[in-house]
């Protein structure tokens, strides 16, 4: 295949992807218009979601989505970075590294419904006991339970990206740093991590996308309450979980349209998060990793 045909094939593939995304976005916009026309801007900031009275406000689900994803990232980032640094920098034995990589890959491949069942049996009872200790309503299910399971679900992605990024640091940089008398810790924190930071940040963005769109496990653990969560122990809902739990039982065309609107909001939030992350990465904060 000559260069002209190869370039034409690449151009065609890119055009197909653009058309698919445009068609996908067009469908969501058109299908969500009835609900948006009925509610107006209140669809974004309204807090009432009542299929019986056909009033639909997405704010509780937007807040629930952002809360669970943010809490999951706060929990997962230090654990994932630690695991990735250990595997990429400190584990020299090939068979130990292989075992750890296998465990992470297995954890990443576990279906979300299995995480949900595990959360019901293990996480919810623990959170219920914690809530009783602090004087919160002992629901068990809620924002914190969903966030903890989300954190466990996204750890494999971040830790794998961190490990791969650190292993791709040029050996010459390490050798030069050691020749100058730097310790292992100084090489990791001062050379390897700055060089790999963009790839590590890309792993965080990938994990954020997974957290924002996770459906089954969150639906099983968050409590499915149509109200704005006011604490970590509150019941709630996310954009993805309310779509999963209500779409097939839509009471009216407007109800179905409102859930298409939720899907559009989720898509926009995910795109904004990705755009913001890529903007930070493009600035290339520091001398390495550009």
pLDDT tens over the chain, length 290 residues: 567 777 788 888 889 999 998 988 999 999 999 999 998 888 999 888 988 888 899 999 999 999 999 999 999 999 999 988 988 888 877 888 888 888 888 888 889 999 999 999 999 999 999 999 998 888 999 999 999 999 999 999 899 888 888 888 888 888 888 888 888 888 888 888 888 888 888 888 888 888 898 889 999 999 988 889 989 999 999 999 999 888 888 878 899 999 999 999 999 998 888 787 777 666 654 444 44
Indicate whether 95 belongs to any domain: yes
Q: How many CA atoms lie within 13 A of 60 on its CB side?
A: 22
- Does residue 79 lie in a domain region? yes
In a domain, 215, yes or no: yes
Find how far residue 50's CA is from the centre of its chain.
Answer: 28
Q: What is the phi/psi pair of residue 50, to 5°?
A: -135, 100
Can you give the residue range of the structural domain that contains 222? Answer: 59-250+270-282
CA distance 8 to 240: 38
Asked, for residue 241, whether it belongs to a domain, the answer is yes
Q: What CATH number has the domain bearing residue 147?
A: 1.10.3720.10
Is 258 a member of any domain?
A: no
* pTM summary value: 0.86
Q: Is residue 264 part of a domain?
A: no
Dihedral of CA atoms 201, 202, 203, 204 in degrees, nearest 10, equals 50
Whether 110 is covered by a domain: the verdict is yes
Please state the domain count of the chain: 1
Selection from 183, 132, 126, 180 nearest residue 149 by Cα? 126
Classify residue 91: in a domain, yes or no: yes
């Amino acid at each position: 295949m000559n260069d002209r045909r190869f370039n034409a094939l690449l151009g065609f593939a890119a055009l197909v992807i653009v058309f698919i995304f445009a068609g996908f976005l067009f469908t969501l916009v058109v299908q969500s218009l009835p609900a948006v026309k009925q509610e107006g801007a209140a669809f974004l900031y309204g807090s009432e979601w009542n299929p019986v009275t056909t009033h639909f406000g997405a704010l509780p689900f937007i807040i629930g989505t952002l809360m669970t994803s943010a809490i999951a990232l706060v929990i997962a980032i230090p654990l994932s970075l630690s695991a990735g640094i250990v595997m990429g920098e400190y584990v020299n034995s090939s068979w130990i590294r292989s075992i750890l990589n296998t465990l992470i890959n297995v954890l990443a491949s576990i279906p979300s419904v299995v995480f949900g069942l595990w959360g019901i049996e293990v996480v919810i009872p623990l959170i219920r006991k914690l809530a009783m200790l602090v004087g919160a309503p002992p629901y068990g299910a809620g924002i914190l339970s969903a966030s903890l399971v989300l954190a466990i679900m996204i750890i494999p992605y971040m830790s794998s990206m961190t490990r791969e990024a650190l292993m791709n640091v040029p050996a010459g940089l390490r050798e030069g740093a050691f020749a100058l008398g730097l310790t292992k810790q100084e090489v990791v924190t001062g050379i390897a991590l700055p060089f790999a930071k963009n790839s590590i940040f890309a792993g965080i963005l990938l994990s954020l996308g997974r957290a924002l769109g996770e459906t089954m496990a969150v639906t099983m653990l968050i409590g499915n309450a149509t109200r704005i969560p006011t604490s970590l122990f509150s019941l709630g809902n996310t954009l993805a979980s309310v779509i999963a739990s209500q779409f097939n039982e839509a009471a009216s065309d407007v109800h179905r349209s409102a859930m298409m609107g939720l899907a559009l909001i989720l898509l926009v939030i995910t795109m904004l998060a990705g755009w913001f992350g890529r903007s930070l990465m493009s600035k290339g904060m520091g001398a390495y990793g550009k």
